[in-house]
Structure 1
Amino acid sequence: MPPSDPDSDDALQDPALLRRLLRAKDRMDACSHEDWPVKRLAEVSGVSEAHFARSFKRAFGIPPHRYLLTRRIEQAVTLLRDTDLAITDIAFVTGWESLGTFGRIFRDITGHSPGAMRVQSRASIASLDCVPACVLKAAQRPDLTIAVLEKRRRDATGTVRPSSTKEVT
């Protein structure tokens, strides 16, 4: 019997690998404000960096860095809506080292500045009181199926063509 390719789709059916990937994902969820380079995530998962990055993307549909961005933006939107913290404080609490970077990436992902998002989310909160928080979070989850820089490039040129001829799935 030939040895199986560790990067094949069958490898993702391995319960041990899935548990390891979920362990890293859970750590990112619990501490999204911390730095999570692939090396640290691979150590948490007990696999090599390259294997972790490929397996995570195949299992969850997005690379680990984009997943972390999604969590940080979700948390920032919640804090903007539910607290009176200053936007600067929210940036640092959610793991950003620079207010400028936070604002730029937040706008790139959500289409709104943090201040505009605060006004918008508070204006619509009364109509969402009866929606469970988990459903609300899922509905408001940022779409990061493409890289932030690619999204920014497409918005600037008004095109939806990929940056290369090969479509990344």
Structure 2
Amino acid sequence: MLRARDTMDRDYAKPLDVPALARVAHVSAPHFARTFRATFGETPHRYLQRRRVERAMFLLRAGDRSVTDICLEVGFTSLGTFSRTFRDIVGESPTAYRRRGPLAGVPTCFAMAWMRPRS
């Protein structure tokens, strides 16, 4: 399971599916999905989405690239899906998140821990 999670952390922008991740973990796809959820508390798909949104949050704060460019860079293929998933995880749209900006006067390590998306 750790090998598959590490693959998702490293290759989050690539198209990954449960059968491919199950091969990395050397188990069947159904067993992988059940065990991953039992081990990490969320489905492999949701974990991968959260990792992509975390990276998008950094890119939205770090520069002035378009939301569409960021969406494609982190591995989403549809701006609509990206925006909906971002809103579900973060609680606001990517544009609103960018507009709000970083937390002023708060050390970066605390801000990152506080703002980290949770399932």
Whether TM-score is above 0.5 comes out as yes
What corresponds to 2:117 in structure 1? 142
Deviation at 1:136, TM superposition (A): 4.1
Cα distance in 1 for residues equivalent to 2:81 and 2:74: 12
Question: Which structure's CA Rg is the greater one?
Answer: 1
* 3-state SS of paired residue (1:105): helix
Deviation at 1:37, TM superposition (A): 0.9
User: Alignment RMSD, CA only?
Assistant: 1.5
What corresponds to 1:86 in structure 2? 66
Length, aligned pairs only: 119
Deviation at 1:106, TM superposition (A): 1.2
- Return the TM-score normalized by structure 2: 0.91
Cα distance in 2 for residues equivalent to 1:40 and 1:83: 33
- Structure 2 residue aligned with 1:127, among 102, 105, 108? 105
Contact 1:53–1:64 at 8 Å: present in 2 too? yes
2:44 is the alignment partner of 1:64: yes
* 3-state SS of paired residue (1:127): coil
Alignment gaps of 5+ in structure 2:
none
Deviation at 1:108, TM superposition (A): 2.3
What corresponds to 2:87 in structure 1? 107
User: 1:131 and 1:85, CA in 2 relative to 1: closer, same or farther beyond 3 A?
Assistant: same
- Return the TM-score normalized by structure 1: 0.65
> Which consecutive aligned stretches of 4+ in structure 1 deviate over 6 angstroms post-superposition?
none
Deviation at 1:28, TM superposition (A): 0.3
Alignment gaps of 5+ in structure 1:
1-20, 145-169
